């Protein structure tokens, strides 16, 4: 397989770890990293260690979609960690300030095989709006996201014809859940002639705590019964810290709106209403509070009812389970794109490349 040059949009927790994990993946060259203040570009390959060291504790992971500075939730809180005079990527010697980092990436699109959207989907149309900019800018290549919300899939599907016309292969929901666990459910379903229910139960221990995972924690809090994506977006950091304290650092989620449901349905595995997603988040411990498990129950061709179960090792971190699959799907997307396959794909329709 030929080498792949890729860009990372957003240098928060997911973006930073994606750059780090890419150093352990063959054929991948991280060439571009950006946030809303600046862009680092080197098509011989970014110095990932320098970039991560320069931005440690100085993260600004939001990227504006309109070419402006982009308003962050709660006046810069939530999903953004800013310290020092130079915020985010521009703290690195490889980067330069930019008023429109997304346009910087689009302008170099001919040299970029794939773009990883490592951006929290604070608004339902945020990822689709980013995709629109690449469509309007004439980009032709691969785009990968790690979004969570079911309703965003329809917004991307609506752009399917445009992606095909532009030569874009878009893989949506390609992280852990949806993503790795969605694909595992699709494989586990192959024993059956009918799938009656899929249960995904995840456990995450954030060793680096809330401060380094603001976007992820905020998106998860939006799944609590008393919140939604709009109200969670407007919470201040102090209010989120209070929610964490109220739960003693361990928050349990049930009946989450995770895109696993519609992604399994579009792959023909089962109806979306037959999929349930929940889990436990521990913001104060390295250890997972529960084992991540996918259970698929169905009927075999000989009329038996059975359940196939897939478990992730408790030693695998959230960063490993999100970014490993994301980069694996990125590699698969490039192979499909080079073969002339364009449009929108889900993680249950493809196998990621190791």
Antiparallel, parallel or unpaired: β 95-97 and 38-41: antiparallel
Listing DSSP states for 13-52 in one string gives HHHHHHHHHHTTSTTEEEEEEE-SSEEEE-TT---HHHHH
**Per-residue confidence band for 74, with pLDDT thresholds at 50, 70 and 90:** very low
User: What span, in angstroms and rounded, lies between the C-alpha atoms of 115 and 135?
Assistant: 13
Lowest average pLDDT, out of 50-54, 119-123, 293-297, 323-327, goes to 119-123
What does the domain layout of the chain look like in residue ranges?
A: 4-176+319-345, 180-315
**Per-residue confidence band for 208, with pLDDT thresholds at 50, 70 and 90:** low
Q: What Å distances lie between residue 206 and 251, 291, 326, CA to CA?
A: 12, 14, 19
**Per-residue confidence band for 78, with pLDDT thresholds at 50, 70 and 90:** very low
Answer yes or no: are the C-beta atoms of 73 and 234 closer than 8 Å: yes
**Per-residue confidence band for 278, with pLDDT thresholds at 50, 70 and 90:** very high
**Mean pLDDT of the region 86-105:** 89
More confident: 75 or 322: 322
Q: Which two tokens stand for residue 132?
A: 């629109």
Q: Does residue 92 register a pLDDT over 60?
A: yes
List 62, 77, 219, 319, catalytic entry: 219
Determine the pLDDT at residue 65: 53
Catalytic annotation on 194?
A: no
Q: Does residue 204 register a pLDDT over 60?
A: yes
Condensed to tens digits (0 to 9), the pLDDT of residues 345-354 reads: 999 999 999 9
Ranges 6-15, 87-96, 112-121, 291-300, most confident: 291-300
Answer yes or no: are the C-beta atoms of 290 and 317 closer than 8 Å: no
Determine the pLDDT at residue 207: 67
Catalytic annotation on 223?
A: yes
List 148, 258, 288, 331, catalytic entry: 148
Condensed to tens digits (0 to 9), the pLDDT of residues 5-44 reads: 999 999 888 899 999 999 999 899 999 999 888 999 999 9
Q: Does residue 104 register a pLDDT over 80?
A: yes
Average predicted confidence (pLDDT) for the chain: 88
Q: Determine what percent of the chain is predicted with pLDDT higher than 70.
A: 88
**Per-residue confidence band for 124, with pLDDT thresholds at 50, 70 and 90:** confident
- Superfamily covering domain 4-176+319-345: NAD(P)-binding Rossmann-like Domain (3.40.50.720)
- SS3 sequence, 108-150? CHHHCCEEEECCCCCCCCHHHHHHHHHHHCCCCCEEEECCCCH
Catalytic annotation on 124?
A: no
List 81, 223, 258, 331, catalytic entry: 223
Q: What Å distances lie between residue 18 and 33, 113, 228, 330, 331, CA to CA?
A: 10, 16, 27, 11, 13
Least Cα distance to 8 among 136, 96, 129, 104 occurs for 104
More confident: 172 or 234: 172
**Per-residue confidence band for 122, with pLDDT thresholds at 50, 70 and 90:** low
User: What span, in angstroms and rounded, lies between the C-alpha atoms of 130 and 73?
Assistant: 17
More confident: 147 or 292: 292
Condensed to tens digits (0 to 9), the pLDDT of residues 289-312 reads: 999 999 999 999 999 999 999 999
């Amino acid at each position: 397989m030929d080498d792949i040059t890729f860009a990372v949009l957003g240098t928060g927790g997911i973006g930073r770890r994606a750059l780090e994990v890419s150093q352990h993946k063959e054929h991948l060259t991280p060439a571009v990293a950006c946030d809303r203040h600046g862009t680092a570009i080197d098509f011989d390959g970014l110095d990932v260690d320098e970039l991560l060291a320069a931005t440690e504790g100085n993260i600004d992971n939001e990227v504006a979609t309109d070419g402006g500075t982009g308003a962050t939730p709660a006046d810069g809180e939530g999903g953004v960690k800013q310290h020092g005079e130079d915020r985010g990527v521009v703290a690195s010697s490889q980067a330069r300030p930019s008023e429109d980092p997304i346009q910087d990436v689009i302008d170099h699109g001919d040299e970029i095989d794939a773009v990883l959207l490592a951006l929290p989907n604070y608004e339902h149309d945020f990822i689709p709006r980013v995709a629109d900019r690449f469509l309007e800018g004439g980009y032709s290549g691969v785009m990968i996201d790690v979004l969570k919300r079911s309703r965003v899939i329809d917004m991307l599907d609506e752009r399917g014809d445009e992606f095909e016309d532009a030569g874009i292969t878009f893989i949506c929901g390609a992280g852990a859940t949806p993503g790795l666990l969605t694909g595992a459910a699709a494989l586990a379903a192959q024993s059956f002639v009918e799938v009656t229910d899929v249960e995904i139960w995840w456990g995450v221990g954030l060793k680096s705590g809330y401060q380094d995972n603001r976007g992820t924690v905020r998106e998860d809090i939006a799944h609590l019964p008393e919140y939604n994506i709009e109200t969670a977006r407007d919470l201040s950091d102090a209010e989120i810290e209070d929610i964490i304290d109220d739960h003693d650092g361990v928050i349990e989620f049930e009946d989450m709106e995770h895109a696993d449901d519609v992604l399994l349905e579009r792959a023909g595995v089962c109806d979306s209403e037959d999929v349930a997603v929940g889990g436990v988040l521990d913001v104060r411990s390295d250890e997972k509070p529960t084992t991540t498990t996918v259970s698929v129950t169905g009927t075999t061709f000989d009329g038996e009812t059975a359940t196939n179960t897939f478990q992730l090792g408790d030693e695998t971190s959230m960063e490993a389970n999100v970014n490993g699959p994301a980069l694996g799907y990125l590699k698969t997307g490039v192979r499909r794109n080079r073969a002339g396959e364009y449009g929108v794909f889900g993680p249950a329709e493809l196998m990621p490349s190791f």
